[in-house]
Structure 1
Amino acid sequence: MSVGEMLTATVPMVRTLNLEYLETTAERAVLRLPDQAAFHNHVAGPHAGAMFTLAESASGAIVIAAFGDQLHRAVPLAVRAEIGYKKLAKGEVTATATLGRPVADVIAELDAGQRPEFDVHVAIQRADGAVTGEMTIAWTLRPNA
């Protein structure tokens, strides 16, 4: 089962928004939010909350792709998030997530008995390529007790 299939099956909000997983690797995750009138805002674009969820979901996908082999000893948790809305979004939007630190560095901290923290950077884009928003989500790998 792919990361996208697993997250679609286990995260109800992914199904609610009909998010589509286009790419999920340890280097990058790309998700699409189709244009859906039920999730529009007052200017007929995707609602800010839907775009936040899209970006956070992309961050979760790359975290699972990068650290899924560590789930037996640690739980990934989002710690905090900051989003900036840059331009008006219309139509479908995609979110592209990248890790802010090398995977090996994060795992080395986990191996040393620490609770590593790392950022995931996400760009939200319209179909024409314009960046409509940027989000940074801080994640941690909390060691299992």
Structure 2
Amino acid sequence: MSSDIGDLLLQTVPFARTLGLVFDSVGEGGAICRVPDREDLRNHVGGPHAGVLFTLAESASGAAVLSLFGDQLNRATPLPTTATIAYRKVATGEIRAEARLLAERDEVVGRLDAGERPEFDVAVSLTNEDGVLVADLTVTWTLRPNRPPTA
């Protein structure tokens, strides 16, 4: 399922393809992806633009969400609701994102079963090629129940 989720995201999110994101692993509420070092993605200090870093992290968080809740797509749509980012060091070179859900699947699906719109967090760490933390994020996601089609 790992490469399927990464492929799905790259097919449905054209901007992720534009950035050249690569999904290395996806599964069990986690995901790892990276963005190559490209001159056209750099900012004024020579590293990836903040928008590139955010997109990388949000994409990793989305893949992590789909790894646990992809089987719920027939009744709910996963959507990010908020995100916070802390820039720790100047990012340079290829950047790697590692995302992990901070919620239990059974709890989230149980809330969906109860008719709620569950919210849950995904933590994402961004590191450079040397493994140095350059930024971290928390992305809050929801599973919005799908509306029945209207006649």
Native 8 Å contact 2:24 2:33 kept in 1: yes
Give per-residue Cα distances to partners, 1:13-49, cap 9 Å, x unaligned.
1111000000111231001010000000111111111
Unaligned runs of 5+ in 2: none
Q: Quote the Cα distance in structure 2 between the aligned partners of 1:26 and 1:78.
A: 19
Q: Quote the Cα distance in structure 2 between the aligned partners of 1:43 and 1:36.
A: 13
- What are the equivalent positions in structure 2 for 1:5-24 lying under 5 Å apart? 5-24=7-26
Q: Quote the Cα distance in structure 1 between the aligned partners of 2:116 and 2:32.
A: 29
Q: Quote the Cα distance in structure 1 between the aligned partners of 2:5 and 2:26.
A: 7
- What are the equivalent positions in structure 2 for 1:12-51 lying under 5 Å apart? 12-51=14-53
- Look up the match of 2:72: 70
Q: Quote the Cα distance in structure 2 between the aligned partners of 1:143 and 1:106.
A: 12
> How far apart are residue 84 of structure 1 and its match?
0.6
Native 8 Å contact 1:26 1:62 kept in 2: yes
Cα-Cα RMSD? 0.9
Matched, 1:127 2:117: no
Give per-residue Cα distances to partners, 1:41-66, cap 9 Å, x unaligned.
11111111100000000011111111
Give 3-state SS (helix, strand or coil) of 2:92's partner.
Answer: coil
- Look up the match of 1:54: 56
Give 3-state SS (helix, strand or coil) of 2:48's partner.
Answer: coil
Give per-residue Cα distances to partners, 1:86-119, cap 9 Å, x unaligned.
0111100000000011111101111111110000
Native 8 Å contact 1:78 1:139 kept in 2: yes
Q: Quote the Cα distance in structure 2 between the aligned partners of 1:134 and 1:43.
A: 19
Native 8 Å contact 1:26 1:63 kept in 2: no
Amino acid at match of 2:14: P
The normalised TM-score by structure 2 is 0.94
Unaligned runs of 5+ in 1: none
Q: Quote the Cα distance in structure 2 between the aligned partners of 1:10 and 1:137.
A: 20
Give per-residue Cα distances to partners, 1:54-81, cap 9 Å, x unaligned.
0000011111111000001101011011
Give 3-state SS (helix, strand or coil) of 2:71's partner.
Answer: helix
The normalised TM-score by structure 1 is 0.97
Amino acid at match of 1:56: E
Moved over 2 A (4+): none
